[in-house]
Amino acid sequence: MSWFVLLALCFVSYALKAIGPVFAGGRELSPQVRRTLDLVPVPLLAALILVQTLGDGHRLAIDARLPALGVAAVLVWRRAPFLVVVLAAAGTAALLRAVA
Amino acid sequence: MAAPTIAQTSRRTLSGAVGIGIAVGVYGISFGVLAVAAGLSPAQACVMSMLVFTGASQFAFVGVLAAGGGALAAMGPAVMLAVRNAAYGVSLAPILPRRLRDRALLAQLVIDESTAMARAQEDPAAARRAFLATGVSVWLCWNLGTLAGALLGGGLGDPRTLGIDAMFPAAFLALLAPQLRRPGAPVAAVAGAMIAVTALPFAPAGVPVVAALAGVVPGVLVARGVRA
């Protein structure tokens, strides 16, 4: 993995955080703009979930990741702690692959 | 500046900050494991956690790498997920110290958790202390967790046998779920997911996730309709 890209990401993430504290000394965003920005992560996270569950290069594939996501969904719904959700998903996929 | 500020911080705020920090630290362990599985060196994983310091972006970045995308393709979703920190920074600007040097330093602590804790306080002084306590606690724990996970992850073997690839979608689901309560969010999520799956067969790796950003548009329209 390239250090150059990694440091570029470091710079961009810091710059985004610093816009408000360094440049916009106490100006408020309009509620409409803030609501739109609040929604930005939502479709991105939903896309990441599907791409990483079903994506296999450029193909869609159904494998052990899908039942693992199902288990994670039930645990998220039951408000389980983050680590429990993530480990249960890994355990489900590992178990199904060991059996198959 | 830091010492008296910490001393005045209420016990409730401090225990909240430590509790959030511990939870994030555990989450940092899973990031360290996944980053190394995706091909980052432990040093790169640690530098990323120290300097990027935004969980969802970091997971997205290593997730695209793990799925076979290049480093540049991984930048898109990571940067898009970091955009909300700009909004947090603007909303926190009034409660930060006056000196530019302090503001520039504290900007690095602008994340979901520190913003949420600051917003929950009654007055600006308490908000500043809550922001500082939570930000420092989360930064320390996130980096210790990443270091532990990166060192542990190298010795784990084939990530697929252990189901580590299934940890990514589970982590994103846990991050997404609390955000679905916002007006328009379910529509934005479904639209984003459909765009990504449609683009997957032909778009370069990483691009389907960035394209999914367009899902914000129907989300905003629906949210407007709900309010009108």
Q: What is the pLDDT of residues B175-207, one digit of tens each?
A: 788 889 889 999 999 999 999 999 999 887 677
- Residues paired with A60 in a beta bridge: A55
Residues B138 and B210 in one domain: no
How far is A77 from chain B, CA to nearest CA, in Å?
8
What mean pLDDT is predicted for residues B74-99?
Answer: 85
pLDDT digits (tens, 9 = 90+) for B15-68: 878 877 887 887 788 899 989 989 999 999 999 999 999 988 999 899 888 888
Give the amino acid at B27: Y
Query: pLDDT at position A93, please?
Result: 95
Instruction: Please count the structural domains in chain B.
Output: 2
Task: Give chain A's mean pLDDT.
Answer: 88
What pLDDT is attached to residue B157? 67
| Region class of A79: left (phi > 0), else alpha (psi between -120 and 50), else beta | left
Mutate which of A13, A14, A22, A75 to disrupt the B interface (most B C-beta within 10 Å)? A13
Region of poorest pLDDT, from A68-77, B126-135, B208-217: B208-217
Q: How far apart are the first and last CA of chain B?
A: 47
8 Å CB contact of A42 and B108: no
Closest Cα in chain A to B215:
A43
Rounded to whole angstroms, the Cα distance separating A39 from B194 reads 16
The residue ranges of every structural domain in chain A are 1-39, 43-100
Residue B92 and residue B194 in one domain: no
Check whether residue B131 and residue B57 sit in a common domain: yes
Q: Please name the residue that has the structure tokens 């846990």.
A: B174
pTM of the model: 0.74
Give A46's contacts in chain B (Cβ within 8 Å): 176, 188-190, 192-193, 196, 212, 215
Are B155 and B203 in a shared domain?
A: no
Ranked by mean pLDDT, the top range of A47-51, B122-126, B143-147, B210-214 is B143-147
- A56: β partners: A59
Amino acid code (one letter) for B89: G
How far is B225 from B215, CA to CA, in rounded Å?
A: 16
The verdict on B112 and B40 lying in the same domain is yes
Q: What would the mean pLDDT of A64-82 be, rounded to a whole number?
A: 93
If asked whether residues B228 and B142 sit together in one domain, one would say no
Let me know whether B192 and B145 are in one domain.
no
Contact A44 B220 (CB under 8 A): no
Mean pLDDT, rounded, for B112-135 = 86
Average pLDDT over residues B95-124: 87
Containing domain of residue B18, as a range? Answer: 2-179
**Pairing of the two strands A59-60 and A55-56:** antiparallel
Residue B3 in this model has a pLDDT that exceeds 50: no
Tell me the CA end-to-end span of chain A in Å, nearest whole number. 33
Q: Quick one: B59 and B118 in the same domain? A: yes
**What is the Cα B174 distance to its own chain's centre?**
12
Measured distance CA(A11)–CA(A7) in Å, rounded: 6
Mean pLDDT within B215-224: 93
Residue-level pLDDT at B228: 63
Instruction: Say whether both B188 and B162 belong to one domain.
Output: no
Residue B177 structure tokens: 């779920």
- Give yes or no: residues B165 and B189 share one domain: no
Closest in A40, A59, A64 to B80, CB measured: A40
Distances (CA, A) of B27 to A27, A53, B9, B55, B142: 33, 20, 26, 9, 7
- Would you say B137 and B21 are in contact if contact means Cβ atoms under 8 Å apart? yes
How far is it, in rounded angstroms, from Cα B124 to Cα B160? Answer: 48
Partners of A33 on chain B (C-beta within 8 Å) are 87
Question: Is B24 in the same domain as B45?
Answer: yes
Q: Region B58-80: what's the mean pLDDT?
A: 87
User: Of the candidates B147, B164, B179, which is a domain's last residue?
Assistant: B179
Provide the pLDDT for residue B198. Answer: 95
Across A20-40, average pLDDT:
76
Tell me: pLDDT of A1 over 80. Answer: no
